């Protein structure tokens, strides 16, 4: 399944929004680029999650992966 959509700037935006905890953990679990962000910025309980990754850039409704 493709979890990403290109936004108007050509960036890879997560389709699952800000609360798709299962998918975000699933993707991060097999992502070679995953890097845990600073403790203050962690939002997911499962540590290995796109939501906790240093390379996600939050938007109002979801996030952009700067490594995709």
Partner 1 sequence: MKIYVAIDDTDNINEGATGDSANQIIKLIEKNHWGSCQGLTRHQLLLHPDIPYTSHNSSMCFIADIEAGYLELLIEEASGFLERESAPGSDPGLCVAVEEQVKNLASLIHFGYETKNRVITKEEAYELAGKLGVHLSEHGGTGLGVIGALAGVGLRMTNNDGRFQGKLKLKMPGAIISVAEIISSSPTESVQSLTGHVLGENEEVRLGEKLKTVLLNGKRTFLVYRQEGRSEWETCTNAQLKDY
Positions in the binding site for partner 1 (CB under 8 A): 9, 19, 21, 37-45, 54-60, 66
What's the closest the beta carbon of residue 28 comes to partner 1, in angstroms?
A: 14
Q: 29 vs 58, which CB is nearer to partner 1?
A: 58
Let me know: does 46 contact 21? Beta carbons within 8 Å. Answer: yes
Identify the helix (H) or strand (E) that includes residue 23: helix 21-29
Q: 1 vs 33, which CB is nearer to partner 1?
A: 33
CA distance 42 to 64: 16
Q: 2 vs 39, which CB is nearer to partner 1?
A: 39
């Amino acid at each position: 399944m493709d979890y990403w959509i290109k936004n108007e700037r050509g960036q890879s935006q997560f389709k699952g929004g800000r609360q798709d905890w299962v998918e975000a953990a699933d993707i991060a679990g097999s992502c070679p680029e995953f890097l845990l962000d600073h403790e203050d910025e962690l939002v997911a309980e499962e540590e290995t999650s796109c939501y906790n990754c240093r390379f996600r850039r939050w938007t109002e409704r979801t996030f952009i992966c700067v490594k995709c």
